[in-house]
Amino acid sequence: MIATIGFVFAIGLLVYMIIRGIDMITATVVTAAVILVTSGLNVWDGFLTTYSGGIGSFVTSWFLILGLGGVFGQLVLEAGLATRIAKTLTEKLGAKMVGAVILICSFFITLLGINGYIMVFVLYPIADNLLKQNQMDRRVLPFLILGGGACANGFAFSLDVCNVLPSNYLNTSLGSSPFLSFLFTAIAAVSYFVYFDYAQKQSRKNHSVEELLAMYPEKDQETEEMELPGFGISVLPFIVVLGAVVVTSGWGTSTSILFSLAMGILLIVLTQFKRIKNVKASIKSGSTSGLNSMLTVGAVMGLSRVLGASPVFQNLQTAVLSLNMPMYLKAFFGTTVLTGLTGSAISGETIFMESFGQAFVDMGVNVQALHRIVTEAALVLNKLPNSSVAILTMSICGCKFKDSYKHVLLGTTLPCFLAGLLVAVLATVGFVY
């Protein structure tokens, strides 16, 4: 009884701490301590072996990948590649195609595995200026950025951690079940446009042009003026990295990603050397950003190990496996719930794979389909109020939670749930491609 109460309290405390802005390392340590004490587990061994072991395992697997990903993202930012792509797309598609421009940019930035925090900094000024030029409601900014990223998180061959992580447990390729991946992305993308159009029509109905423009800061946060590179050379690193991932997929996930990112970094340095003020400093800044993210996620991985050691969670595991429900639907709802509890797609995936992954494999499920379902399910509730990414994005955009979160919920969370559920249902009836 005490263990159950302690477990529920610990999860609630974790959500509260994240919402209050407490750093993830501190939050996970406190949460782990509560679970260890109330579960009657050895606190000393729990931290030195279980918690630290989870961190160590993650760091071993992701150190170089996240480090190089951070460098790639920083160089993209400083060389003005994303800015050029956005400006060109705006010129070609028309300024009123704001949704399409932001979707395309956020999609490809996420596809290449660039840190989500970097993506926000890169896209926010561009998106904000585009919305203002067209006299649109800026409160949709967090939705535009997060929703665009969600379309790529689970896309086939994406270098995003959400798509990479299941391959480490299932020995699957990043392109697992490509049709199911395309279907999920298509539904998410269509919903993105439909909701954006609806939200803007409602805003124009309820607000005057003057009121909409008054939402913007007095000083526009314009993208820094600089001599931007050409469009072709700007998209080339993205094409090279993605192409390299596809071509080298047979080398193993980690090797393929490291090689592809290294090729992208080298290409940017060689072609944009004059635009990058200090290559050495940029590499240092980018790697630091990537490795800081690694430590944050590593702390969550440590907590996942402690959760797995809890007798309450073990009972929950047994209950999930005994549910009278098709296996693929179990995987979908299990990952979705775990993601919601932790406020993190990576955490939800990790806990599910470590706790249930092998059991599902032993039951004979198609591992390619399982990879895809777990990846898509992790994108359903990863933007709840306890999500650090959602909160950070709204903070950077200068949008209040009460004004902007409804757009994230209706435009991203709900469509991802419906799309992910459809993918799980299709796999259940035998369509696993």
* pLDDT above 90 (res 255): no
Nearest to 153, CA basis, from 429, 420, 428, 385: 420
Query: Tell me: the pLDDT tens digits for 111-120?
Result: 877 766 667 7
- DSSP letter string, 17-80: HHHTT--HHHHHHHHHHHHHHHTT--HHHIIIIIIHHHHHHHHHHHHHHHHHHHHHHHHHHHHT
Torsion angle of C-alpha atoms 414, 174, 116, 356, degrees rounded to 10: 60
Where residue 266 falls (left for φ over 0; alpha for ψ -120 to 50; beta otherwise) is alpha
**pLDDT value of residue 415:** 95
Read off the pLDDT of each residue in 251-257 and give the average, rounded to a whole number: 80
* C-alpha gyration radius of the chain: 21
For residue 353, what is the DSSP state?
I
149 Cα distance to chain centroid? 7
Q: Which is more confidently placed, 345 or 21?
A: 345
332 Cα distance to chain centroid? 17
**pLDDT value of residue 38:** 92
For residue 224, what is the DSSP state?
P
| Count of other CB atoms within 10 angstroms of residue 381 | 24
In Å, what is the CA distance from 363 to each residue of 208, 321, 357, 358? 59, 11, 10, 9
- Residue % of the chain over a pLDDT of 70: 92
Query: Tell me: the pLDDT tens digits for 128-178?
Result: 777 887 889 999 999 999 998 899 888 988 888 889 899 989 999 889 999
Instruction: Tell me which amino acid residue 200 is.
Output: Q
* pLDDT above 90 (res 403): no
Query: Tell me: the pLDDT tens digits for 285-339?
Result: 888 877 776 777 678 778 878 887 888 877 876 777 677 889 999 999 999 988 8
- Residue 166: half-sphere exposure toward Cβ, Cα within 13 Å: 35
| Mean pLDDT rounded to a whole number for the chain | 84
Dist. CA 390–CA 197, nearest whole Å: 21
* pLDDT above 90 (res 228): no
- Residue % of the chain over a pLDDT of 90: 28
- What is the value of pTM for the model shown? 0.74
**pLDDT value of residue 279:** 82
Greatest mean pLDDT among 84-98, 157-171, 250-264, 360-374 lies in 360-374
* pLDDT above 60 (res 189): yes
Residue 127 contacts by C-beta under 8 Å, 6 or more apart in sequence? 98, 102, 141, 144, 145
**pLDDT value of residue 197:** 92
**pLDDT value of residue 307:** 80
Alpha helix segments (H runs only) across 224-252: 231-247
Nearest to 124, CA basis, from 86, 95, 79, 92: 86
Question: Out of 106-120, 151-165, 224-238, 261-275, which region has the weakest mean confidence (pLDDT)?
Answer: 106-120
Query: Tell me: the pLDDT tens digits for 41-76?
Result: 899 999 989 899 888 887 887 788 778 877 887 888
Read off the pLDDT of each residue in 227-236 and give the average, rounded to a whole number: 87
Q: Which is more confidently placed, 271 or 400?
A: 271
Q: What confidence tier does 224 reach under pLDDT thresholds 50, 70, 90?
A: very low
**pLDDT value of residue 29:** 92
Do 320 and 93 contact (CB within 8 A), yes or no? no
